[in-house]
Amino acid sequence: MFTGQYYCQSCNKETIHNEVLIRKPSRYDNDPTIFGRIKLLLHAFINGGHYYDMDRYVTCQTCGRRELDNKGSEFE
């Protein structure tokens, strides 16, 4: 978890925010069979695992508002 100063729309001022990376769901996540688990493992291994498809969220420490904050383009 990282911290930084960002503008909070709820507080209307710059406050300290925590940054969190959360893995985007894969299309193989909903298959509970053993074959589905193997497909998910192979998909994660081939595509770089948990570090490839991530969403960046920032959470205000003052009010607790959580916001998706993906910046830039893929592979940048």
Is the distance from CB of 65 to CB of 10 less than 8 angstroms?
yes
pLDDT for the residue 73: 62
Q: Which residues contact 72 (CB under 8 A, 6 or more apart)?
A: none
Distance CA 15, CA 9 (A): 10
pLDDT for the residue 63: 92
Model confidence over 4-63: pLDDT tens digits?
Answer: 788 888 889 999 998 888 877 777 777 788 888 888 788 777 776 656 677 888 999 999
pTM over 0.95: no
Q: Pull the structure tokens for residue 22.
A: 């959360």
Q: Which residue has the higher pLDDT, 76 or 64?
A: 64
Query: Average pLDDT of 60-69?
Result: 90
Is the distance from CB of 40 to CB of 31 less than 8 angstroms?
yes
Domain ranges for the chain: 2-68
